[in-house]
Amino acid sequence: MLCPPKILSNSYIWSIKVGLEINAVGALIVGEEGILVKSSGAIFDRLEVTVHSEIEAIRKAFAALESSQLNGYWLYSTHEPCQMCIISHFWAPS
């Protein structure tokens, strides 16, 4: 499935709106019904280097679904995910 430009645009515009102009990284978890969760990460808020937007999106999705299964959902990010985020997404059951 190719990423619709509208989804990527939505992710980037949303990340700018929440005040991430400096690093503007946002992530979305999207399913058939649309956007499930949005995340901007919290590296600067919590001074925690592992709170990347992709990982926070996965955590929020698990909570929203009350499950650790992400079958039928896609992760979209405004930037290429780092190695930690790629592995986290890979190991998230789907």
Query: 9-39 pLDDT, tens per residue?
Result: 565 555 555 555 555 678 888 888 888 998 8
pLDDT tens, residue by residue, 66-91: 988 888 888 888 778 888 888 887 77
The dihedrals phi and psi of 62, each to the nearest 5 degrees, come to: -55, -45
Indicate whether 5 pLDDT > 80: no
Query: Which helix or strand (DSSP H or E) is residue 63 part of?
Result: helix 53-65
Please state the pTM of the whole predicted model: 0.74
For residue 76, what are the β-bridge partners?
A: 28
pLDDT for the residue 1: 44
Q: Residue 59 is encoded by which pair of tokens?
A: 């955590």
